[in-house]
Amino acid sequence: MRKVIIAFVLMLAAISAAESAFAQNGVIKEFSGTVELKNSNTADFTAAKAGDIVKQDTVVSTGYKSTALIEIGSTIITVRPLTRLTLKEIRSSAESETLNVSLQTGRVRVDVKPPADRKASMSVSTPSATASVRGTSFELDARNLYVISGNVLFKGTRGEYTLITTGCESAIDEKGIAQNPLSLGYAAYLPPMPVGTQSYASPAATTARSGTQTPKNDTSNVGVGIGYKGASNE
């Protein structure tokens, strides 16, 4: 009988530990304009308000001139206007946090600042790219990335991850590969070609510096890419 009781207690402890590892939710800290939420168990969007709980698999949508500030553990997501995203995975334990976001369209700013005794793993996926971080701040739309602070591993639908560091930017080119920031910077310093001839700088490099890139025949959702150099002051 004693062994049965001990086994039952251990089972309850295991269940409690498992639940605590998945119990974290987000919260709408601030918003402006039209912000809507759709939970995984509902068919319709509802108007969001400050203090609303944002659970795993919740879809967040912002309208024209609308923004939302979502806090999830040690991560702050600033949802820009005309953006739709889904919180695909939210996990938390005593030692670590895991957050995965699917950005269908639009643009977000992400700030990840975990305490010294915890690890935070966060990724944002778009139809064209994936950005993975562990303690940093960055701006991302469907194809363009600007790192405000820290390091971001960035990749497209093809190729390997590229490390993008503080103050650098990258874009997914027409082949679906994340561009090396060094190549973009080099192209910026090349002298201009004579009028009427092709410029040295590739279209991908030029558009990455301006914050937007829409390849020919592109059918993916491309967000509003405002110049990221000034985005950190917003």
Q: What are the residue ranges spanned by the domains of the chain?
A: 21-233
Cα gap 208→202, rounded to integer Å:
10
Q: Out of 3.90.340.10, 3.40.50.720, 3.40.50.300, 2.60.120.1440, which CATH number does the structure's domain 21-233 have?
A: 2.60.120.1440
pTM of this structure: 0.69
Mean pLDDT over residues 92-110, rounded? 90
Digit-coded pLDDT (tens) for 134-175: 678 999 999 999 999 999 999 999 999 999 999 999 999 999
Question: Is the pLDDT higher at 61 or at 234?
Answer: 61
Tokens representing 190? 């090349």
**Cα–Cα dist 79/201, whole Å:** 32
49-63, 85-99, 191-205: range with lowest mean pLDDT: 191-205
| Percent with pLDDT over 70 in the chain | 68
Rounded Cα distance between 206 and 185, Å, is 10
The residue with tokens 């793993």 is: 121
Amino acid 91: pLDDT: 87
Stronger pLDDT, 93 or 146, i.e. the higher one: 146
**What mean pLDDT value characterizes the chain?**
76
pLDDT at 3: 54
Q: Sign of the CA dihedral 156, 222, 48, 69? A: positive
153 and 132 Cβ atoms separated by less than 8 Å: yes
Instruction: Check whether 5 has a pLDDT greater than 70.
Output: no
pLDDT in tens, 8-66: 445 544 444 444 445 578 999 999 999 999 998 888 999 999 999 999 999 999 999 99
